Structure 1
Amino acid sequence: MQDASTDFLIIGGGILGAATAWSLAQRAPVGTRIRLIEAGMLASATTSQAAALLTRVRPDPAMAALVAETFVAIEQLNAVLDQSLPLRQVGSLHLASHDAGKSYLRETWHTARSLGLKAEWLDGKGAQSLAPWLAPGEGSEALFVAEDGYMDPVQLAQGYFSAARKLGVEVMQNCRVEALIKDQERVLGARTSNGDIIAGTVICCAGPWSVKLLAESGIQLPMAPVRSHYWITEDNTELFLVESPMVILPDANAYARPEVGGLLFGLRDQQAVYGDPAGLPEDIHGYLFNCDPEGWECLESGWTDLAEVFPAIEHLGVAHYLTGVSSYTPDGKPLLGRTALAGLLVATGCSGGGIALSGGIGRLLAELALEQSSYIDTTPFAPERFGPVDPFSEAFRIRCALARSQKRSG
């Protein structure tokens, strides 16, 4: 390691670390040293497992502001990168036939209007024209939000990294953090597999591994590793049009979007599956939760409701099943900002929404790290908002899992 000191040290080379590095480099004074370290390869862990739905309509204005900033960030990145990012701004289609689902649609419509977003009501025929695989039932309602989209999460992360490097950020791969270095109540840097790095400020974006790492320094992060998973059907270009919108199905607690000729669809477990933050492997790929490891129980329990609006699933083959780890908090909002350990900030706990929130989180963490005025109120995301917690306890992990099973939007 040529220089073992830096002004800002970012731990974690996923999408939040990438977005924070880029935003920090944009705002920091000339000559500021910024280093990002990643235990493996960039954007190869939980970022690579994401479905990456960029839905702008969020009931909480602060959450909506984070997502809106991601769309701004994509435009800014396109202006400096050699090639534009592959954003598929195809909109989101929300379909419901039951009372609870229709209530969700009405709430979404009101929220969209309050945010200045266009939301259009459609009948069943109009919904099916956008997504031919859908079979809306009699009396169903549909809402189309045109400004939503999705994109490959790794390509977005690499876009942040490329722009950050252009601004002088040093990125180190295959450099694992073994412990934080601290002096009484202040962080001084990190002990890594490549040696010690001294830093004026440390920003932890290490995803589900953050809990164990920070607990060793007395910081108890209120989040737990919860399973996120989805399936991809075999190809059918007549049913799954490339320009079809994402689809949100609150009645079935499901979502879907086109994926290279097939359909990617996710189901949220009625009883969410969670893991132990102390037992996560270094390599997340191939990691299986000890409950319903292959997802068959979840698929079986959600099959009837899904087949009601997606009858083709009865004869289509499933080509792929992907399971990943999301970091959930009890209220489904991220953990962003300063910790009780001076000089240490965190950006994690995105509850399955890290790709959509990335640009907003990057900007917010950069402003906090530089002690600038924040563009949004940080109170809803304060890491200490739940009071003292034990993230390793069974009871607390169940609280976090419930946040996923009760989630209704994309």
Structure 2
Amino acid sequence: MSVQVSDILIIGGGILGLSCAWSIASSAPIGSRITLLESNTLSSGTTSQAAALLTRARPNQDMARLVAATFKAISKLEAELNESLPLRKVGSLHISMGHESADYLTSTETAARLFDLRHHRVNPKQVKQLSPWLNTQKIDNALLVEDDGYMDPVQLSQAYAAAARKKGVQIKQGVTIKDLFVASQGIQGVLTNQGIFEAPQVICCAGPWSIKLLHDYEVRLGMAAVRSHYWITDVNPALFPTHAPMVIMPDIKAYARPEVGGLLFGLRDQQAVYASPDQQAVYASPDQIPASIHGFEFDQDPKGLECLEDQWQGLSDLFPSLNDIGIAHYISGISSYTPDGKPIIDATSISGLYVATGCSGGGIAISGGVGEAMANLVLNKTTAGSLETFSINRFGAIDPLDQAFMVECAQARSQKKSG
């Protein structure tokens, strides 16, 4: 059996793994051997199904720093690759329909001020000019954060990969992890379908597949595989101009953004659904998630019709044309949700083994910050801000395979109001 040796090994070729690879290679000593393993093709898993909203004005400062680092990473990638990346800096429009969301607007405004982001309140006439599809009669207040945007997640992932390769990272696709090698002194490497990969430091960025992989080694990741989904309408440039901002609608727990002449909109279920690949039970263990999730449908509300029906009235109040315009596409994916909606970025109880996962539907936005934080952690460098917020142990003694815990994670998505 072949044996390949690296100094640092990264499991997972989604956006978090690729960002970690590039960030670590940017700071590691010259000559460091860094290898990334992906079981399918790069960005073919959860990354490819993301809506990719990059919203920076977040009340939690640690989360805001992660997103800010992504914007900085995009600028660095453009310089290193000598090309422009398709970041659509259209801004984000946050709307309030009542007293409760007024507090959300105020906290978002405070966060924008704290991070020196261009922002201002907008009146109904301005709202209509920005997003013609919105019914301004249902809106009490609105805030525009000009420095936000969105970007195709696969293109950003490819940029991380290209820049990582330029720095010497070996990226191998079609490599399936069969087992970890763990000795008394810590992680030793992994066994794959293509032989043994040895490394004294291993970073697991395998998204929802991380849960079962690490569970066998008593590493309990506080997250569950929860459905994320969105719809895309028929093309209507008059209603959905390509330069229109993203829209965050906390009152109805929804978001929207332009998508090639149509409108992409996402809704949060009253009770979020989580993975059941065997089609036999609504609640299934993470070890049943298929290697490829494309074409995968959840056994509960597989086409998202129940969610759409439940949320229809609230959405159509704000978006009255929804009653007439067609829906062209429905995209259902899987996100790794933690109970508090924040990622896990930490060392594990196994020496040399680290994790970067639990993106909670925001992996694209935080990718640059996660990569930077992991590079500092692995290379023992100073980290801006605290990583305590993202500690692996912050939920106490949990079992991610326990149904009650899965429900708790699913509720984090159901209760999410921001983009």
TM-score range, shorter chain: over 0.9
Q: Distance in 2 between matches of 1:283 and 1:114?
A: 41
The structure 1 residue matched to 2:318, chosen from 309, 332, 340, is 309
The structure 1 residue matched to 2:287, chosen from 267, 278, 285, is 278
1:318 counterpart residue number: 327
User: In the TM superposition, what whole-angstrom CA distance separates every residue of 1:96-137 from its partner, at most 9, and x where no partner exists?
Assistant: 222212221122112211222222101111111011111111
* Superposed counterparts of 1:395-410, under 5 Å: 395-410=404-419
Q: Is the 8 A contact 1:97 1:137 kept in 2?
A: no
Q: Secondary structure at the match of 1:376?
A: coil
Runs of 4+ in 1 over 4 A off after TM superposition: none
Q: TM-score, normalised by structure 2?
A: 0.96
1:162 counterpart residue number: 162
Q: Is the 8 A contact 2:2 2:194 kept in 1?
A: no
User: In the TM superposition, what whole-angstrom CA distance separates every residue of 1:13-37 from its partner, at most 9, and x where no partner exists?
Assistant: 0000000000000000000000000
Amino acid at match of 1:187: I
Measured at CA, do residues 139 and 75 of structure 1 come closer, stay the same or move farther in structure 2, by a change above 3 Å? closer
Measured at CA, do residues 139 and 225 of structure 1 come closer, stay the same or move farther in structure 2, by a change above 3 Å? closer
Q: Is the 8 A contact 1:123 1:140 kept in 2?
A: no
Amino acid at match of 1:308: D
Instruction: Work out whether 1:146 is the aligned partner of 2:155.
Output: no
2:388 counterpart residue number: 379
2:96 counterpart residue number: 96
Q: Distance in 2 between matches of 1:384 and 1:179?
A: 23
2:11 counterpart residue number: 11
1:266 counterpart residue number: 266
2:65 counterpart residue number: 65
2:54 counterpart residue number: 54
Q: Is the 8 A contact 1:233 1:319 kept in 2?
A: yes
Q: Displacement of 1:290 after TM fit? A: 2.0
The structure 2 residue matched to 1:335, chosen from 331, 344, 353, is 344
Q: Distance in 1 between matches of 2:165 and 2:185?
A: 32
2:204 counterpart residue number: 204
User: In the TM superposition, what whole-angstrom CA distance separates every residue of 1:141-162 from its partner, at most 9, and x where no partner exists?
Assistant: 1110000000000000000000
Q: Distance in 2 between matches of 1:186 and 1:388?
A: 21
The structure 2 residue matched to 1:289, chosen from 298, 303, 310, is 298
Q: Secondary structure at the match of 2:199?
A: strand
User: In the TM superposition, what whole-angstrom CA distance separates every residue of 1:267-306 from its partner, at most 9, and x where no partner exists?
Assistant: 0111111223121011111122221111000000111011
Q: Distance in 2 between matches of 1:34 and 1:86?
A: 28
Q: Displacement of 1:185 after TM fit? A: 5.2
Q: Displacement of 1:2 after TM fit? A: 7.6
Measured at CA, do residues 229 and 138 of structure 1 come closer, stay the same or move farther in structure 2, by a change above 3 Å? closer
Q: Distance in 2 between matches of 1:170 and 1:197?
A: 12
1:176 counterpart residue number: 176
Q: Displacement of 1:52 after TM fit? A: 0.1
Q: Secondary structure at the match of 1:323?
A: strand
Amino acid at match of 1:399: E
Q: Distance in 2 between matches of 1:14 and 1:378?
A: 22
Q: Displacement of 1:346 after TM fit? A: 0.2
Gaps in structure 1 of 5+ consecutive residues: none
Q: Distance in 2 between matches of 1:6 and 1:240?
A: 49
Q: Secondary structure at the match of 1:325?
A: strand
Q: Secondary structure at the match of 2:128?
A: helix
Q: Is the 8 A contact 1:179 1:216 kept in 2?
A: no
Q: Distance in 1 between matches of 2:315 and 2:341?
A: 24
Measured at CA, do residues 304 and 370 of structure 1 come closer, stay the same or move farther in structure 2, by a change above 3 Å? same
Q: Please say which of residues 399-408 and 98-107 is displaced more in the overlay.
A: 98-107
Q: Displacement of 1:81 after TM fit? A: 1.2
Q: Displacement of 1:332 after TM fit? A: 0.7
User: In the TM superposition, what whole-angstrom CA distance separates every residue of 1:183-206 from its partner, at most 9, and x where no partner exists?
Assistant: 135110001110111001000000
2:188 counterpart residue number: 188
1:80 counterpart residue number: 80
1:28 counterpart residue number: 28
Q: Is the 8 A contact 2:117 2:145 kept in 1?
A: yes
RMSD over aligned Cα, in angstroms? Answer: 1.1
User: In the TM superposition, what whole-angstrom CA distance separates every residue of 1:164-212 from its partner, at most 9, and x where no partner exists?
Assistant: 0000000000001111111135110001110111001000000000000
Measured at CA, do residues 198 and 138 of structure 1 come closer, stay the same or move farther in structure 2, by a change above 3 Å? closer
2:114 counterpart residue number: 114
Q: Is the 8 A contact 1:86 1:152 kept in 2?
A: yes
User: In the TM superposition, what whole-angstrom CA distance separates every residue of 1:209-238 from its partner, at most 9, and x where no partner exists?
Assistant: 000000111211110001100000000011
Q: Is the 8 A contact 2:3 2:195 kept in 1?
A: no
Q: Distance in 1 between matches of 2:111 and 2:35?
A: 39
Q: Distance in 1 between matches of 2:346 and 2:305?
A: 38
Q: Secondary structure at the match of 1:336?
A: strand
Q: Distance in 1 between matches of 2:385 and 2:348?
A: 18
Instruction: Work out whether 1:251 is the aligned partner of 2:260.
Output: no
- The number of equivalent residue pairs is 410
Measured at CA, do residues 223 and 321 of structure 1 come closer, stay the same or move farther in structure 2, by a change above 3 Å? same
Amino acid at match of 2:315: L
1:235 counterpart residue number: 235
Q: Please say which of residues 173-182 and 270-279 is displaced more in the overlay.
A: 270-279
Measured at CA, do residues 344 and 233 of structure 1 come closer, stay the same or move farther in structure 2, by a change above 3 Å? same
Amino acid at match of 1:261: G
Q: Distance in 2 between matches of 1:228 and 1:269?
A: 9
Q: Please say which of residues 33-42 and 90-99 is displaced more in the overlay.
A: 90-99
Measured at CA, do residues 23 and 131 of structure 1 come closer, stay the same or move farther in structure 2, by a change above 3 Å? same
- Identity %, equivalent residues: 53
Q: Is the 8 A contact 2:21 2:164 kept in 1?
A: yes
Q: Is the 8 A contact 2:2 2:196 kept in 1?
A: no
Q: Please say which of residues 38-47 and 285-294 is displaced more in the overlay.
A: 285-294
Q: Displacement of 1:367 after TM fit? A: 0.8
Instruction: Work out whether 1:390 is the aligned partner of 2:416.
Output: no
